Structure 1
Amino acid sequence: MIEGKNEFYGSRMLSLLYKKPGLSRSDLADMLDLDRGTVSRIVQYLVSSGLVEEGAEIQESSDQAGRKKIPLFLSDRSGYTIGLEVQYEFIKYGAVSPLGTELYSGMFHRAPSGNLLEDIVTVVNLARDAVPGKRLFGVGIALSGLVDPIHGTLLFSLSLGARNEPIPLKDELINRIGVPVFLDNDAKCCCYDVLSWPYQGPGANPESFIYTFCEFIENPIDPGRYDRIGIGTAVVLQEKIFYGSRFAAGEFRNLYADPELPGQFGRYSKDYFNIMHSDPERRALFIHDLAGSMAYIANFLDIQLVYMGGGIERYGAELQEAFDRAIESTWLYQEYLPRRIQIQFAPSDEKPAVRGAAAMVHRHIFAGPIHEGEERTGLAYLQALPNW
């Protein structure tokens, strides 16, 4: 264990390697304004602790007699984080390494009368049992509804039982699980998936973007029908998730919804779109509505990058076409400054919220605190773990 200044600079080194893999000891010394001996001692601790690995030597110049450097990388084998996506019907879960490798995944089907906290503890234990012998860095949980991520409270959720009063979860879960726990809204968790492991494809740097998380719950009897469709949206500005004044930023009702009808979409009936999987006309209307709402937000905020995941990627081509039309119709200067915004879709594993919940923990550890007031990060966080 190292403490004091060495702990501080060790944490800084982890952060630098998280953001820019392959830096050498001399690079770290220059960037942190430290002498080479101090850097070597701290790096030796990081390597011996399994947090950092050395790459193959690289010749720094064409002169064969010149200095060689050894690139350093965060180890993908140093530990793992459990990510959960909690819905009314199920909990998807996975064990994810610091560099985004999926070590294990599964699904737990919840009973209608199930206790939220007890179900979460059960699933965490299932995930732990599936990855024996590795250090658990923490647990990240993606929840549907309004979430206070600072205090770890589910403020409001129609599907998870927080209708009349908030449900405090974080402290009790930490007591039961024994490691740090982080909670956030499912769409906002998806943003950490992008910030930590950007999808491949065209588009600007993922510093400012919109994420739309669309969950289709399929009917187990009728394959042409969805039991439930839920959409959540989150906005990231300069690598920071925007929460609004009540942690409700991103929650919206369809731009075209009939105010006389309940539900998020409000088109003819609250479950009008539940057969869109087998009805092309209803699917086209759903995609038109969704594309219009997202295009309006993107143009209003001048966002150049939109991500979508959770199941909506199966309609990717149709959605991109509708989105292009909506961008043109809601962009004031299309005639003079034509605009096209590319949608990047999550890989079709339909688990971006699980990966994002895990990434939320990794980002807190390796890139600094994700929320003000959470001071313990980096080596201070890791060395305080019970399994360190």
Structure 2
Amino acid sequence: MQSTHLREHNLSIILGALATAASTASPLSRAGLAKRTRLTKPTVSKLVEELVGAGLAEEGTPISAGAGRPMVPLTPARGTLLAIGLEIAADHVACLGIDLAGEVLSHRIEYRKVTATSAEESIDLAAELVGKVRADAGNLPVVEVVVAVPGRIAPDDGRVLSAPNLDWTEVPLVARLLAHPQLAGLSVRAQNDNRLSVLTEIDHRPGESFIYLRGSTGIGGAVVLDGALMTGVHGWAGEFGHTVIEPGGATCRCGRQGCLEAYVSYHALRERAGLSDDILIDDLVDALALTRDRTEVIGMIGRSLGLAIANALNVLDLTTVVLSGYLAPIADELEPVIRETVERHALAVEAGPVLIARSDGQVDPALHGAARAALQPVFNAPGAWIARAHHVRAPHVTA
């Protein structure tokens, strides 16, 4: 008989394998699961029955494949649980609800400027959107709510310690959300938006190691090692935007000088060029190119990024860099400038070429990453959700 720990481990492996296979549109059968997970067929069959019975997995229409029994495809269940991602950004608040299969059940967004003076109002709006998403999804059981914020988060209580692009300092985000009736009794946590954005990239680069750089209102990033996100002691690993590229240089919104973010973030580039704040981030480079030579604009951005990337590659010993956000559409233009700078400063080039790639182009990656992260408790501990499903379905006996 399997121990409780081993059973939980095997359930997690099976459910994770089903999700991975479904994301590539190649669902697995029980036999395929046994081969993929290297578990015995009887073990796989028993655990799959538990997952199906609890509404965590579902069987599709049998598929004939020549002689023999038809293959019964298995996938994570649709429409049984709800994971909620929230994003609080400088110009909008958004909420996304997905099920275990990753299908979107509801998406709500409100555009408004988020600043220090509007912090409480923005949190109220976020809670209101959660309520609307829950209603849209038919009030399914909620796994978790994960909030994406462009700043540093206290790992113990979800306070936003500093979010320069929102002008937030010491904002008790999670506590304020939990005070709202729409989130009463739910599990809520906050995380840096860039470390959530990279989750969708990990799905497209399973098992790979790379540096992820995202250009937005600020400059953020993440470090991925063998397909796993590196978090660091405080959960802040990957703050490439605050890598110093010019000691004593331009003042960053974080209050320090010479940060990469002070040169190539949306705010820095727009303000330096004297552009109005109604310029969309996706149009930023084109707008800058109207005020000066485009080659000059690309060169300045590329050289600044190249210095930060070279330093990161020297410390981390990696050879792949993925550009996201506003940097992705201009990645081909940036690549030769970045490469020239990296080749002058990074040791990694001695072992071979550094790959500079663009992200998969997922729209709203922080929001989708937050919703994806909100599913993780089920994949980490399916046994607890199986027990919960049985408890809900169990008849109540009265004296």
Normalising by the smaller structure, the TM-score range is 0.7 to 0.9
Distance in 2, matches of 1:28 and 1:249, equals: 34
Among 118, 122, 125, the residue aligned to 1:119 = 125
What is the rounded CA distance, in whole Å, between the counterparts of 1:91 and 1:173 in structure 2?
Answer: 17
Are 2:8 and 1:17 aligned? no
Task: Confirm whether residue 253 of structure 1 aligns to residue 232 of structure 2.
Answer: no
Structure 2: distance between partners of 1:319 and 1:166: 36
1:173 corresponds to? 178
Q: Which amino acid aligns with 1:74?
A: P
Q: CA deviation at 1:151?
A: 4.0
**Per-residue deviation, 1:12:** 4.5
Q: Give me the TM-score of the superposition, normalised by structure 1.
A: 0.74
Alignment gaps of 5+ in structure 1: 199-203, 216-228, 369-376
Deviation at 1:94, TM superposition (A): 2.2
Q: CA RMSD in A?
A: 3.8
- Structure-2 residue corresponding to 1:298: 313
Counterpart check, 1:339 vs 2:353: yes
Tell me the amino acid that sits aligned with residue 344 of structure 1: R
The residue that corresponds to 1:148 in the other structure is: 154
Is residue 81–residue 96 contact of structure 1 (8 Å, CA) maintained in 2? yes
Contact 2:320/2:354, CA 8 A, preserved across alignment: no
Report the 3-state secondary structure (helix = DSSP H, G, I; strand = E; otherwise coil) of the residue aligned with 2:331: helix
| Paired amino acid for 2:223 | V
Alignment deviations for residues 266-323 of structure 1 (CA, whole Å, 9 cap, x no partner): 4599532564532234632123312432243235423233333233323232223323
SS in 1 for 2:189: strand
Cα displacement string for residues 221-242 of structure 1 (whole angstroms, at most 9, x for unaligned residues)? xxxxxxxx31111112233322
* Shift in Å, 1:142: 0.8
Say whether the 8 Å CA contact 2:144–2:187 is kept in structure 1.
yes
Aligned to 2:342: 327
Shift of 1:352: 0.5
Query: 1:234 pairs with 215, 222, 226, which one?
Result: 222
Instruction: Map residues 28-67 of structure 1 onto 2, 5 A cutoff.
Output: 31=37, 36=42, 39-40=44-45, 42-57=47-62, 64=67, 66=68
Distance 1:328 1:6 in 2: 48
Deviation digits for residues 324-359 of structure 1 (CA, Å, limit 9, x no counterpart): 32332233374x64403031324162x010011111
Q: Is the 8 A contact 2:211 2:224 kept in 1?
A: yes
Distance 1:311 1:106, change over 3 A: farther
Deviations 1:11-56 (A, max 9, x none): 44323323455443345568575673x6545433432443222245
Tell me the alpha carbon deviations over residues 369-388 of structure 1, each in whole angstroms, 9 at most, x when there is no partner.
xxxxxxxx324147548998
Q: CA deviation at 1:95?
A: 2.4
State whether structure 2 residue 382 is matched by structure 1 residue 378. Answer: yes
**Secondary structure in 1 matching 2:97:** strand
Is 1:279 equivalent to 2:294 in the alignment? Answer: no
Contact 2:87 2:148 in 1 (8 A): yes
Displacement of 1:132 in angstroms is 3.2
Kept in 2, the 8 Å contact 1:314–1:348? The answer is no
Equivalent position to 1:355, from 358, 362, 368: 368
- Structure 1 residues 379 and 347: alpha-carbon distance in aligned structure 2, compared to 1, 3 A threshold: same
Name the residue aligned to 2:93.
91
Which has the larger helix fraction?
2
Task: Measure, in 1, the Cα distance between the counterparts of 2:242 and 2:167.
Answer: 20
By how many angstroms is 1:97 displaced?
A: 3.6
> 1:344/1:97 Cα in 2 relative to 1: closer, same or farther (>3 Å)?
farther
Q: Answer yes or no: is the 8 Å Cα contact 2:56–2:100 preserved in 1.
A: no
SS of corresponding position for 1:248: coil
Asked whether the 8 Å contact 2:223–2:238 carries over to 1, the reply is yes
Match of 1:220 in 2: none
Amino acid at match of 2:134: R
What letter is aligned with 1:320?
Answer: E
One-letter amino acid of the structure 1 residue matched with residue 142 of structure 2: L
Does the 8 Å CA contact 1:77/1:97 hold for their aligned counterparts? yes
Q: Which residue of 1 aligns with 2:330?
A: 315
Aligned equivalents of 1:133, 1:232: Cα separation in 2: 34
Distance in 2 (alpha carbons) for counterparts of 1:233 and 1:110: 23
In 2, distance between residues paired with 1:209 and 1:365?
27
Identity level (%): 23
Partners of 1:254 and 1:266 within 8 A in 2: no
Q: Within 1, Cα distance between the matches of 2:229 and 2:348?
A: 28
- Residue in 2 that maps onto 1:189: 196
**Runs of 5+ consecutive residues of structure 2 not aligned to the other structure:** 253-258, 276-283, 394-399
